[in-house]
Chains A and B, each alone.
Chain A
Amino acid sequence: FQIDYTGTEPSSPCNKCLNVSWDSSAPCTCTINFTLEHSFESNVFMYYGLSNFYQNHRRYVKSRDDSQLNGDNSSLLNPSKECEPYRTNEDKPIAPCGAIANSMFNDTLALYLIENETTVPITLIKKGIAWWTDKNVKFRNPTGDGNNLTALFQGTTKPVNWPKPVYMLDSEPDNNGFINEDFIVWMRTAALPTFRKLYRLIERKDNLQPTLQAGNYSLVITYNYPVHSFDGRKRMILSTISWMGGKNPFLGIAYITVGSICFFLGVVLLIIHHKYGNRNTSADIPN
């Protein structure tokens, strides 16, 4: 299930926010109502999807400093040249540096169930959306005395487009700084210009109720991320996941097609074999 909330159509509630820019201070909020026809029985994964966004642009991909993200103190204050032109701002090193970090997705999505005119917020879990390797190996906060991230990140400045510095991404200490999972997910660049990224998890609370029951919902978007300039689209996707991933028509169709072709070829070859095969069997050269 997916909702496009870019707001290019004038009728869309988010149309008013279409022309937000990176440095607009006032957040623009819009709400989209939608109806789930079927209930989601198991855990639900919430994704955001962007299209026509070239996260695989070579110079964009390179524009990061893995050492800095890995908690290296010297790289923190002296980021790699790869980060240019997002390496320093006003003579202060940017943490995290680079174009990827700078363009981090910063819409906030909230989901409410509309039940009998009342809106019930649905708990969205922000942790567990990144790879274990990323969270524990690749991304680490700088080390130093104490756990005060503010102190650790002293001497650095926030990325240009960010409203707040990296050590204020989240309130929980194990989800803050470089190991903020939203940040990690964003930093794992997509392979294609149309991509989805995991945003939140909705866990099933008990065995009696479905995770998301069929009904009306409203999606409240804090619209910060400008995509209109490059004809990008933003979507919100809800999906459950079976053992082989989410619902996906492509693989099924492909397998059915290939299977039929195989079958067809098999029949054709069988016919050929019956018709002409006998003539040559005696002439085979045994090796």
Chain B
Amino acid sequence: MSRELGTEPRERLMSWDPPGRAWGCFRRDEGRRRPFSWEVRANDRSYHKQFKKKFAFCLTKKKYSGNAIKTAKYNILTFLPLNLYEQFHRMANVYFVFVILLQTIPEISTLPWYTLLFPLGCLLTIRGLRDLIDDIGRHQSDRNINSRPCEILSGKRFRWQQWRHICVGDIVRLRKDSFVPADMLLLCSSEPSSLCYVETAEIDGETNLKFRQALLVTHQELVSEESMAAFDGRVTCEEPNSRMHSFTGTLEWRGESFSLDSERILLRGCRLRNTDLCYGLVLYAGFDSKIMRNCGKIQRKKTKLDRLMDRLVIIIFLVLLLTSLCLAVASGLWAKTFQENHSYLSALYQHTTPAQQAFFSFWGFTILLSIIIPMSMYITFEFVYLVNSFFINWDLEMYYPAKDIPAKARSTSLNDQLGQIEYIFSDKTGTLTQNVMTFKKCCINGTIYGASENAEPELCHHKAAAQLGLSWVPATCPCLLQGLGLTWRQQEEKLDFCKVTLLEAAQQDTDPVLREFLRLLALCHTVMVEEKGDQLVYQAASPDEEALVLAARDLGYVFLARTQDTITISELGLKRTYKVLAMLDFSSERRRMSVLVRDPQGRIRLYTKGADTVILERLQRRGPSETFTEMALDHFAQETLRTLCLASREVSEAEYSSWSRRHQQASVLPRDRAPQLRRLYEEMEQDLQLLGATAIEDKLQDGVPETIQLLKLGNIKVWVLTGDKQETAVNIGYACKLLTDDMEILEEKEISDILKAYWVSNNNLSSSREAFCSGNLSPQRPEASRHKKRALIISGDLLDKILQTEEVLKEQGRLRRWLAACRATGSQEQGSLVEKAFVDLATSCQAVICCRVTPKQKALIVQLVKKHRKVTTLAIGDGANDVNMIKTADIGVGIRGLEGMQAVQCSDYALAQFRFLQRLLLVHGRWGYLRVCKFLRCFFYKTFAGLMAQVWFAFHSGFTAQPLYEGWFLALYNIFYTACPVLSVGLLEQDVSAKKSLEFPELYVIGQQDQLFNYRVFGVTFLHGASTSLASFYIALWAFQDHVGSKAVGDYESFAVTVATSALLSVLVEIILDTKFWTVLSFLMVTASLLFFCLFSFLTQSVDAFRLAPTVFRFPDASRNALTDPYVLLVVLLSLVVNTIPSLTIQLYHSMAGKANIQQKICLKAKRAPEPSVELRAHIPRGSARRRSSYAFSHQEGYAGLITRGHSLRSRAARSTPQLLHPAAAPPVPPLPTPSL
């Protein structure tokens, strides 16, 4: 494996910035390499005030901004103009303003002015109010932050002031647990070596402590307030930027200059921990600070339906224009007849030609029909999304009581997409697994200890142990420790591994191998121990290590303390101190670590633990116990446990001294140090004696196999992308039922073969490439997949190679383009063909596991699938290494796990456990999709059904764009008369209950296939709406043509009211029929609609309103006159019946004939074939007897470097006299583990 696992932390740091931007910045800055222009002088405010910079035209502002921040967008004066300006960024709003302006031209003004202005005004007001409330919140938080207290050095002493008063160059004193107010250079702190611990939870969400260290010179010199006041250092550094983890600059003081890096900087927003006091020099304040520079705009992800909706609105708009055009042409033709024959009209045409008339009519119709463009749809849509997100947040089934974490929809606009997922890309560690390791079993000297599968779990607890008389673990252990002034954290004390026999054996202390085994566990590691009150807290680089040390502790070998070169352990109550001679640290290539110790008797021993393959080949001899251990390893691997081999050997004094000398030399080599050391390590780790093997369980999260099973039934493919090794990944794959025994597993070789075969045949037939590209893979693929399921396991390296071939091809393509431009396109196709071939292959497999992939590759894979499959993808992960993937996928889900909050902060949905994903997708996702689709369908339907009658009326009014409806009806139709029931459909509709949704995951398929809303459904909706409007219009028309009566005798107002009422009622009845899930709210909404209709009809048609403004309220008493006429009521009833019968019939037919009802089909199917049980069972690997053993170290190297350097170890004696370090020599060290509070 050539991939260096040590790159992981670096990747993690980089992933904070969107990769592209970060790299772009680097390149640009490196290219210029100009001297830094940001100069900060300590304690010199006047110096900074003199600088100005231009920011717009000839306006200038201070170069060094103050520390007050303002995130609020508006103030009292600017709210209205700015907010309106922002709102008119929406095309729809601009369009409506344009139409309203058009309306002011009398020639073409077909609608009264208020018809469009009123709804637009309503929408603008609603949105404006929302923005206002948001902004008031921002104002408040700004005020709170700006007035936080802090101590600023002014004159000779520190004074309490507010954050807003901080200026660049000030020296600030911070106390424990306070927030850092600005980006500061750490000058000194109350801790030894001027260390300073910060928590960056506010910045990147990570809760572990990081340390910063002051320069030696400032640490030594600035000891009093006077010296602080006299400090006149000058810092020259880069201009403010958004790179959180990089900083370069120099401090000049007393004629010397010191280089500064990000380890010296306290960033705004960090929180000071475990440090009583620290002093800092403000470098960037307010908006110049890195965290503020990072507050970028969040890019809104758009869902498939969003895009479809946008396209539909455009289509509607185009159709509208086309209709207007046709009607305008017709009006031109009619104008001629009107002008010539209709004497009562001809005067109206006196000065215009038919062509002009047609032109005016075109605009008139555009205005008239613009009401069909669903203006209020977007805002209603947003509301539906918002409330559905609340449903996710409120769902108790997705609440994780153990950690008090509810599900959280961080993005409120993706709910429908949750119902359309086809591919899930999952991280492994912390997502599928708990990232909690437990020591399960071990094999010592050929004897297997540890409970068998069917052991009673209660037996394992120490209650049982006490019953068996093995009482010393709970009893003696504390006694021993009390002697040392320590006790264990009893509440966390849980002996959850079952090793009664082992405990017995350890207690008897007869077997020397067993003793060595446990000693190794207690000695050979890089765990740090901290005293926390009277408790010992272990901080390990990886959870496996911690598990091993804890196991040793429970068995009586307690790791007590560590100094730079000693390890103190308590062996069955006996305190022994070992001198550590050398630490041969873990690396991903060595796959083992060793420690060389001199025991109190003076003997030197080497203790090694490592992956079985590595250890087994370095053994001194192979006896029966070794063979038995190998069998045990096989056995452990079958139980999906992570295994590790332990070995040791005695080292003679002579051998050590010669080795030690060379080691000393090698470790100071200026170059090639690492390979030299590796060679030396190799030399030492020979002729080992096998002690035994351990087995650690990487616990799966609850319900993971069941969830994956369900998702698979829902036709969702789950890909596991992990940085872990192949064996581990495959193990987990089996454990969580992603892989099953009947699967054919394609590995590196098979994949290359298939792709190569594909590629060769492709190249030979490059001329007919197009035709072949689909044909080549497919003959193999369906054939294979038809007969057996296949799983693909691919490593990051191979992935790189595959995608590199593509790069190479692109290179060739570029070359070829130079030579012959005409062939260039062909080769580019070739490039993407490789990708496509790979994606084709991968997607044809039942399961895909990608191991050893970097965060960048994770994102790349997601992108590949998105690009070539046009599917909706979901990425789920918990760590910072998943951030790229989460951002790339259509939906990112973050698990709030142990690895900090970064993934959650970039995600769209945050969950506590992987198993909640099934509910999120199968219940909320499906409902969300259903609701949004039904909502859209109803919305479009009601718009068409209600308002298309205007078009039909044009045929009977000589194409003169006379509106059919009264202005107020049009104004209120979309907002008040029909919005409510549609909204209730969007909010609460469900077809089957949550329980059924989970029982029948097959129902999920409708979302993946876009069945509920697509162009076809839209077309059907359009036709349905058109026919409803046709029916309402023509029934009224025919009824009125021959009608005589005392009141409504075919006059325009009665006619308008009749058509409007029948259309409105038809729409309401249709929505009522379409609603499958009735709640009180649905009922209220329908009632509210009717009430609104009556109320507003009454208000706008009242006599008083007419008297007030005869030109605005033109229809006095029209409804009352018309709707009290029984004849009109009969007409309304007739059109209602005519409109309802077809949809009612179709619905009845469907439900009765059992035709094409997916649910029922599935029910039948489910009845016939009961679900396969999903129980965890061990599997036997097919084919080779390959063990899935692994050295379960996590990706990072341990703290060995830090330990042996001894910087961070705070010996009790050395606390008052800090060690002197040369700052430049300190390489970046991993974050120091410190006890968390």
- Listed in ascending order, the chain A residues whose CB lies under 8 Å from chain B are 22, 45, 47, 53-61, 63, 66-67, 70, 81-82, 85-86, 99, 102-103, 131, 133, 137-138, 188-198, 226, 229-231, 237, 239, 241, 243-251, 254-255, 258, 261-262, 265, 269, 272-273, 276-277, 279-280, 283-285, 287
Of the residues B106, B1037, B1126, B1148, contact of A243 by C-beta under 8 Å: B1126
Whether A188 contacts B348 by the Cβ 8 Å rule is no
Whether A277 contacts B1152 by the Cβ 8 Å rule is yes
In the bound assembly, the distance between CA atoms of A222 and B1050 in angstroms comes to 25
Q: Which residues 1084-1120 of B sit at the A interface, judged by CB distance below 8 A?
A: 1103, 1106-1107, 1110-1111, 1114, 1116-1117
Whether B1130 contacts A58 by the Cβ 8 Å rule is no
Of the residues B345, B1039, B1050, B1117, contact of A54 by C-beta under 8 Å: B345
Whether A58 contacts B110 by the Cβ 8 Å rule is yes
For the A-B complex with A192-B956, A192-B1037 known, give 4 more contacts whose Cβ atoms are closer than 8 Å.
A58-B957, A58-B961, A250-B1042, A261-B1141
Residues of A within 8 A of B731 (CB): none
In the bound assembly, the distance between CA atoms of A196 and B1131 in angstroms comes to 18
Least CB distance from B1016 to A in Å reads: 25
Least CB distance from A51 to B in Å reads: 9
Least CB distance from A48 to B in Å reads: 11
Whether A56 contacts B1163 by the Cβ 8 Å rule is no
Residues of A within 8 A of B1126 (CB): 243-245
- Tell whether A57 pairs with B962 under 8 Å between CB atoms, given A192-B1040, A261-B1141: yes
**Residue from B1039, B1077, B1153 whose CB has the most chain A CB atoms within 10 Å:** B1153
Identity of the chain A residue whose Cβ is nearest the Cβ of B1154 in the assembled complex? A280
Residues of A within 8 A of B961 (CB): 58
Q: Mark B1125-1169, 1 if CB is under 8 A from A, else 0.
A: 111001100100110010001001100111000011001100100
In the bound assembly, the distance between CA atoms of A250 and B1043 in angstroms comes to 9
Q: Mark B1160-1187, 1 if CB is under 8 A from A, else 0.
A: 1001100100000000000000000000
**Residue from B958, B992, B1042, B1053 whose CB has the most chain A CB atoms within 10 Å:** B1042
Least CB distance from A248 to B in Å reads: 6
In the bound assembly, the distance between CA atoms of A194 and B958 in angstroms comes to 12
Identity of the chain B residue whose Cβ is nearest the Cβ of A60 in the assembled complex? B345
Q: Provide a sorted-by-A list of 19 A–B residue pairs whose CB atoms are within 8 angstroms.
A: A54-B958, A57-B338, A61-B962, A81-B106, A85-B350, A99-B347, A131-B1047, A137-B1116, A188-B1051, A190-B1051, A194-B1041, A229-B343, A251-B1039, A251-B1134, A261-B1141, A279-B1154, A280-B1154, A280-B1160, A287-B1077
Least CB distance from B1033 to A in Å reads: 11
Interface membership of B651, Cβ < 8 A = no
Whether A258 contacts B1141 by the Cβ 8 Å rule is yes
Interface membership of B277, Cβ < 8 A = no
- Tell whether A70 pairs with B1110 under 8 Å between CB atoms, given A137-B1103, A249-B1042, A269-B1145: yes
Whether A241 contacts B1130 by the Cβ 8 Å rule is no
Number of A-B contacts (CB under 8 A): 205
Of the residues B350, B1050, B1125, B1160, contact of A195 by C-beta under 8 Å: B1050
- Tell whether A241 pairs with B343 under 8 Å between CB atoms, given A54-B957, A192-B956, A251-B1127: no
Residues of B within 8 A of A133 (CB): 1103, 1116-1117, 1121
Least CB distance from A157 to B in Å reads: 16
Interface membership of B658, Cβ < 8 A = no
Interface membership of B1038, Cβ < 8 A = yes
Whether B1130 contacts A251 by the Cβ 8 Å rule is yes
Least CB distance from A255 to B in Å reads: 6
Residues of A within 8 A of B1138 (CB): 258
In the bound assembly, the distance between CA atoms of A250 and B993 in angstroms comes to 47
Interface membership of B960, Cβ < 8 A = yes
- Tell whether A191 pairs with B1134 under 8 Å between CB atoms, given A241-B1046, A276-B1152: no
Residues of A within 8 A of B1056 (CB): 191
Q: Mark B929-971, 1 if CB is under 8 A from A, else 0.
A: 0000000000000000000000000001110111000000000
Residues of A within 8 A of B345 (CB): 54, 57, 59-60, 99
Residues of B within 8 A of A57 (CB): 338, 345, 348, 957-958, 960, 962
Whether B1046 contacts A45 by the Cβ 8 Å rule is yes
Residues of A within 8 A of B1054 (CB): 191
Whether B344 contacts A60 by the Cβ 8 Å rule is yes
Whether A56 contacts B1134 by the Cβ 8 Å rule is no
| Top-6 shortest CB links A-B | A191-B1055, A103-B344, A246-B1044, A280-B1154, A245-B1127, A58-B960
Identity of the chain B residue whose Cβ is nearest the Cβ of A136 in the assembled complex? B1103
- Tell whether A272 pairs with B1130 under 8 Å between CB atoms, given A54-B958, A67-B1111: no
Interface membership of B157, Cβ < 8 A = no
Whether A283 contacts B1051 by the Cβ 8 Å rule is no
In the bound assembly, the distance between CA atoms of A261 and B1144 in angstroms comes to 13
Residues of A within 8 A of B1221 (CB): none
- Tell whether A244 pairs with B1051 under 8 Å between CB atoms, given A57-B338, A226-B343: no
Whether A248 contacts B343 by the Cβ 8 Å rule is no
Identity of the chain A residue whose Cβ is nearest the Cβ of B1078 in the assembled complex? A287
Whether B1044 contacts A269 by the Cβ 8 Å rule is no
- Tell whether A245 pairs with B1043 under 8 Å between CB atoms, given A56-B956, A61-B1052, A193-B956: yes
In the bound assembly, the distance between CA atoms of A244 and B1149 in angstroms comes to 35
Residues of A within 8 A of B350 (CB): 85
Whether A273 contacts B1152 by the Cβ 8 Å rule is yes
Interface membership of B405, Cβ < 8 A = no
Whether A245 contacts B1044 by the Cβ 8 Å rule is yes
Whether B1043 contacts A248 by the Cβ 8 Å rule is yes
In the bound assembly, the distance between CA atoms of A241 and B1126 in angstroms comes to 12
Interface membership of B1045, Cβ < 8 A = yes
Q: Mark B985-996, 1 if CB is under 8 A from A, else 0.
A: 000001011001
- Tell whether A192 pairs with B1046 under 8 Å between CB atoms, given A131-B1117, A251-B1131, A258-B1138: no
Residues of A within 8 A of B344 (CB): 53, 60, 99, 102-103
In the bound assembly, the distance between CA atoms of A285 and B1151 in angstroms comes to 12
Least CB distance from B337 to A in Å reads: 8
Residues of B within 8 A of A86 (CB): 347
- Tell whether A276 pairs with B1153 under 8 Å between CB atoms, given A138-B1106, A251-B1131, A255-B1134: yes
Residues of B within 8 A of A59 (CB): 345, 348, 960
Whether B1149 contacts A269 by the Cβ 8 Å rule is yes
Whether B1041 contacts A192 by the Cβ 8 Å rule is yes
Residues of B within 8 A of A247 (CB): 1044
In the bound assembly, the distance between CA atoms of A133 and B1102 in angstroms comes to 10
Residues of A within 8 A of B1049 (CB): 47, 195-198
In the bound assembly, the distance between CA atoms of A103 and B338 in angstroms comes to 14
Residues of B within 8 A of A255 (CB): 1130, 1134
Identity of the chain A residue whose Cβ is nearest the Cβ of B349 in the assembled complex? A59
Least CB distance from A27 to B in Å reads: 18
Interface membership of B364, Cβ < 8 A = yes
Whether B342 contacts A54 by the Cβ 8 Å rule is yes
Whether A246 contacts B1045 by the Cβ 8 Å rule is yes
Q: Which residues 1061-1093 of B sit at the A interface, judged by CB distance below 8 A?
A: 1076-1077
Identity of the chain A residue whose Cβ is nearest the Cβ of B107 in the assembled complex? A59
In the bound assembly, the distance between CA atoms of A60 and B960 in angstroms comes to 10
Whether B342 contacts A230 by the Cβ 8 Å rule is yes
Residues of A within 8 A of B1116 (CB): 133, 137-138
Least CB distance from B571 to A in Å reads: 65
Identity of the chain A residue whose Cβ is nearest the Cβ of B1134 in the assembled complex? A254
Whether A272 contacts B956 by the Cβ 8 Å rule is no
In the bound assembly, the distance between CA atoms of A131 and B1035 in angstroms comes to 24
In the bound assembly, the distance between CA atoms of A245 and B961 in angstroms comes to 31
In the bound assembly, the distance between CA atoms of A186 and B155 in angstroms comes to 93
Identity of the chain B residue whose Cβ is nearest the Cβ of A193 in the assembled complex? B956
Whether A66 contacts B1160 by the Cβ 8 Å rule is no
Least CB distance from B1105 to A in Å reads: 11
Of the residues B992, B1055, B1107, contact of A285 by C-beta under 8 Å: B992
Residues of B within 8 A of A226 (CB): 343
Interface membership of B341, Cβ < 8 A = yes
Whether A269 contacts B1152 by the Cβ 8 Å rule is yes
Residues of B within 8 A of A249 (CB): 1042
Whether A283 contacts B1141 by the Cβ 8 Å rule is no
